[in-house]
Amino acid sequence: MNMAPLASPAVLFPGQGSQGTGMGIAWRNDPAWAVVEEAESILQHTLEPILLETAAAPASTTDTQLSVVLCSMMSWKVLAPAFGREKGARPLLAGHSLGLISALHAAGVLTAGDTARVVALRARLTEDACDGSGGMTALLLGVDGAAEACADVPGCWVANDNAPTQTVISGKLTSLRTAAAAAAALGADDIIPLDVAGPFHTPLMHRASAEFLAGLRAIPFNRAQSVVVHNGRTHLPGATGPDTWRELVAADLTTPVRWRDTQHALARLGADAVVEAGYGRTLTGLAKRTLGRVRLHNATSPEVCRSLAALVRAPDRGGPSPSRATGTS
């Protein structure tokens, strides 16, 4: 691990598709496991098996969403005290798709219990919308090439602009196969069907998004206490109201993920490192492709999280950089 101090880290939270076998085992005997126990109490549902199973990764849409966010919440529970110290460093927060909900928890917009409620609602509604006819496919191809591959294919959309040469398309499975063939002809280095059950980030999720927004109105949201970057736009602490956060969380089901823009916005804000909080290495991999030689950390276990927390230090008191002072990028 690079032991340089962290003054302004970008803490990133992964989304659906980053799950794996035994993804919660590292946390089982740590005090942070209380996150899982609280979620089980609130949801009246046993969650331990989906986090400890070693034979297979969580499979259903509901299990994958809950498992990914629970791992991120446990990671943040260990990291958070370092950022709460007086005059301590302030993280820049962002979440990839589902990960936005984890980022909002870290920013104080959602309590731990309400985070579990939001994810469970999202999971139920999106699982209902996943009828087996849709999916997502990753392309090792730039966003312009992906858009061209989808251009003449009804039922196919560019869903994620993740990195300069990594894009995800989403839609009907038959349409994805046609677009994948077009992408191959355009020079895609690889084409990878994703382990996601539905056509997320497309108009096909409109009904789920509308029902999600209606349900979110019954769940308390607060103003953020930290900077949150979403789809390339910077939300300064306190600047975005609860209703807007609800609308953004719900709209994520139908709108593309502009993750490349988000990463560049974090860099402009002065991020001195990337910390992926949760299971897997998806987002640090994308950061390496997009931002080059940025320091990368994967906060995947209690031990690593505590080592990273020890690196957090107070920022330079010489004043904010111009990019940090201007507000929205």
Q: Which residues are catalytic?
A: 97, 201
DSSP label of 268? H
Q: φ and ψ at 119, to 5 degrees?
A: -65, -40
Q: How far apart are the C-alpha atoms of 74 and 92, rounded to whole Å?
A: 18
Nearest to 119, CA basis, from 2, 261, 13 = 13
| Residue 121 CA: distances (Å) to CA of 58, 71, 126, 171, 215 | 18, 18, 9, 22, 8
Neighbours of 284 (CB within 10 A): 19
Neighbours of 207 (CB within 10 A): 13
Residue 10 DSSP SS3: strand
Contact residues for 228 (Cβ-Cβ < 8 A; gap 6+): 93, 94, 103, 104, 107, 109, 234, 235, 240
